[in-house]
């Protein structure tokens, strides 16, 4: 008896740079993310398991057609494991994988996602997993790693005296000295041998309810 699970979730937010230092205008703001627990397969047969993470962002109020985009993914099937778009991808002791990826948003002269706020940026991160087989599970909770400026030595904005704040109230990942924060995440689980549909669950740690869109 076959089965599987499909789940899709996203979070979005608006981040603000405290000023538009002339050294930054025309440069790039890089959002660095991590996805954990990718493509875990158990049991006798897994016919197919896919995980994809994607991110979009803009520094332009009239954002039609001006979104920066980044996509990374994995696939596990009878032919083996394949991946694309990751900055790094490592295998964990439990057989899952952890991957890092980034989104580069151009800092536009006189830009600003919010009118009158040239240091405002919109971004959205989406997790999608699709697993089928006799007994299978998958998890890909995503979270921030850091925010950097790759065009000026890949330093953090804070190192240049530019603070980063979020409309949702989360803390800049650059200021987190301990564990990687997870402003939003997605965990999927399915037991195909029992014909169960599965469960999609999103954790939020340290994120205010306002200003964050999500799909359960």
Cα separation values, 192 from 71, 138, 188, Å: 28, 12, 13
Distance CA 39, CA 152 (A): 35
Q: What is the pTM of this model?
A: 0.76
Give the residue with greater pLDDT, 136 vs 162: 162
Strands in the chain per DSSP E: 3-17, 28-38, 48-58, 68-77, 80-84, 88-91, 97-106, 120-133, 136-139, 142-148, 164-166, 187-190, 199-201, 213-214
What is the pLDDT averaged over residues 155-171? 92
Quick check: 163 pLDDT over 60? yes
What is the pLDDT averaged over residues 11-16? 94
């Amino acid at each position: 008896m076959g089965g599987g699970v499909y789940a899709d979730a996203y979070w979005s937010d608006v981040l603000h740079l405290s000023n538009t230092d002339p050294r930054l205008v025309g440069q790039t703001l890089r959002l660095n993310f991590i996805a954990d627990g990718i493509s875990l397969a158990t049991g006798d047969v897994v016919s197919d398991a896919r995980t994809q993470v994607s991110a979009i962002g803009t520094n332009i109020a009239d954002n039609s057609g001006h979104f920066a985009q980044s996509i990374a993914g994995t696939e596990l099937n009878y032919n083996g494991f394949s991946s694309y778009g990751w900055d790094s991808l490592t295998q964990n002791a439990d057989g899952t994988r952890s991957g890092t990826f980034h989104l580069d948003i151009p800092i536009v002269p006189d830009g600003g996602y919010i009118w009158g706020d040239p240091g405002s940026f919109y971004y959205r991160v989406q997790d999608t997993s699709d697993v089928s087989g006799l007994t299978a599970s998958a998890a890909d909770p995503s979270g921030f790693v850091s925010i950097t400026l790759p065009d000026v030595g890949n330093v953090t904005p804070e190192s240049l005296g530019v603070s980063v704040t979020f409309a949702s109230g989360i803390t800049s990942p650059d200021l987190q000295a301990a564990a990687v924060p997870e402003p939003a995440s997605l965990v999927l689980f399915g037991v195909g041998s029992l014909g169960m549909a599965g469960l999609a669950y999103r954790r939020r740690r340290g994120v205010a309810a306002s200003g964050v869109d999500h799909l359960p």
